[in-house]
A = this chain, B = another copy of it.
Amino acid sequence: MGRYEEILDAAGRLFSERGYHATSVREIARQLDLQGGSLYAHIDSKEEVLFQIVERAAHRFSEVVQNLPEGDARVRVCAFVRGHLRVIVEELPYATVFFHEWKFLSEPYKDRVRRLRDAYETALKELIEEGVREGVFRVEDPDLAAKFVLGALNWVYQWYRPGGRLGPEELARGFCPLVLGALGGGEG
């Protein structure tokens, strides 16, 4: 791992535990046994670090929708659920920062993140609409349904801990029928 990645990882942990505003550049440096000032050889600002973390998380999430398998909308939605949960579980600090701390970015960073988030939500909404057209889902309001599903998935960052009762695969297996049911595409 390069120095820059180490900085992002240390900052991601601190931002996710304490929040962006409550973390100083000095504390990030201390995690890496650096002097506060010497961190500026690697970064321009604390905000740049926040943006890089948020953008990396956004990139991981966007890979999920770019790599959905062929198949009917149920297969694709379950692959989405599995992929989305995997990013949260594997990148828990980054995902936490992505969900919470992005709002502390200033423009134009913030606008860029807002667009990434909107595009991702739109991709799920279109997947739901696809299922409605295919006749496998029954959904009144695909926009609201997309927000509902994303909320249910995203909230996992609040309670998921590695080594808990459910691993990432069990979690995806448990969530897939709940999501399909919500979209009117469950069994029975």
Residues of A within 8 A of B (CB): 18-22, 99-100, 138, 140-141, 144-145, 147-156, 158-159, 166, 171, 174-175, 177-179, 181-184, 186, 188
Determine if B152 and A148 form an interchain contact, defined as CB atoms under 8 angstroms apart: yes
A96 to chain B, nearest CB (A): 10
Given contacts A22-B21, A181-B183, A184-B186, contact A175 B148 (CB under 8 A): yes
Determine if A182 and B184 form an interchain contact, defined as CB atoms under 8 angstroms apart: no
A150 to B152, CA, bound (A): 7
A95 to chain B, nearest CB (A): 13
A184 to chain B, nearest CB (A): 6
9 closest A-B pairs by CB:
A151-B155, A21-B22, A152-B152, A182-B182, A19-B19, A151-B152, A178-B182, A144-B174, A181-B182
A155 to B153, CA, bound (A): 10
Given contacts A22-B21, A22-B22, A183-B181, contact A150 B155 (CB under 8 A): yes
A60 to B94, CA, bound (A): 32
Question: In this complex, which of A151, A159, A188 has the most chain B Cβ atoms within 10 angstroms of its Cβ?
Answer: A151
A112 to B164, CA, bound (A): 22
Given contacts A149-B152, A155-B152, A174-B144, contact A188 B181 (CB under 8 A): no
Given contacts A150-B155, A151-B151, contact A184 B181 (CB under 8 A): yes
A145 to B183, CA, bound (A): 15
Chain B contacts for A138, CB-based, 8 A: 188
Chain B contacts for A99, CB-based, 8 A: 158
A53 to B141, CA, bound (A): 34
